[in-house]
Amino acid sequence: MMKSNPDHLDGFLFEESGFCAQLCNTEESLRLAYQLRYRAYRSVDGIPENREGVAVDDYDAQPNARTHLIWYEGQPVASVRSLIWSARYDWQSTTCVDAYRPAIQANLGLDRPILESNRYVVDPEFKGRKSLTAQYLLFRIQTISCLYDRCQYVITAVRSNHISFYERLMGFYPISDSTRVKGFQFETTLLATPYRNRAILAKNASVAAAQLEDYEQYIKQLSAPVAV
């Protein structure tokens, strides 16, 4: 098991309130993220069981995908993936572009960089206030990722009972009807928010506010190839 000490954590991004953020750039860190996804989704019967005990899809191998982990006390406790819709990646598709293309075209347009935040998960046994802090830090990561690719909007597909959290925290708003996305056993609604609403995020949760040094560290870590 890898340790969350910043001096030994491959892909280290930042440390906050006892948590460490990591860009997954090794096979080991990616597998930990896939295992964490699996545990989280299985805890709500969100995906079918599989022998490997991982939740992985074809998008994970794409060059426009970046997976991240949050660590606490030496354990991975949360994870999120960025999928970038951008000319930088030859407009390689994302889960939401494939599932909600008409809604995105009508509400945002498909001629601009967009960050899709997905595979947003927390270990089902990691609960309470610390779980909420981990979730805020996932938003912080996506803010940095969004800046790196100059994305004008962030989109994410969530279950109906999570919509109010996103609306309150960063001004997300629905741009689609509820539908089932391939690979999942529940329906989701597509939400969107402009990148400028990071100010709302910072006001609502100070630990979620990205710092300049976060961005500088992110650039540094992206110089290392992501193993898939």
Report, as an integer, the average pLDDT of 73-81.
96
CB atoms within 10 A of CB 94: 26
Write the pLDDT tens digit of every residue in 7-37.
568 999 999 999 999 999 999 999 999 999 9
Q: At residue 125, does pLDDT exceed 90?
A: yes
Residues 73 and 50: their CA atoms lie apart, in Å, by 28
Q: At residue 55, does pLDDT exceed 70?
A: yes
Report, as an integer, the average pLDDT of 151-176.
94
- Hunting for tokens 């597509």 — which residue is that? 190
Residue 174, classed as helix, strand or coil, is: strand
Q: Are 201 and 209 in contact (CB under 8 A)?
A: yes
Distances (CA, A) of 99 to 33, 48, 105, 190: 23, 20, 12, 9
6 pLDDT tier (thresholds 50, 70, 90): low
pTM of the model: 0.91
CB atoms within 10 A of CB 224: 12
Residues 24 and 12: their CA atoms lie apart, in Å, by 9
228 pLDDT tier (thresholds 50, 70, 90): very low
pLDDT of res. 122: 96
The DSSP H or E segment spanning 180 is strand 179-180
Domains of the chain, CATH where assigned = 12-222 (3.40.630.30)
224 pLDDT tier (thresholds 50, 70, 90): low
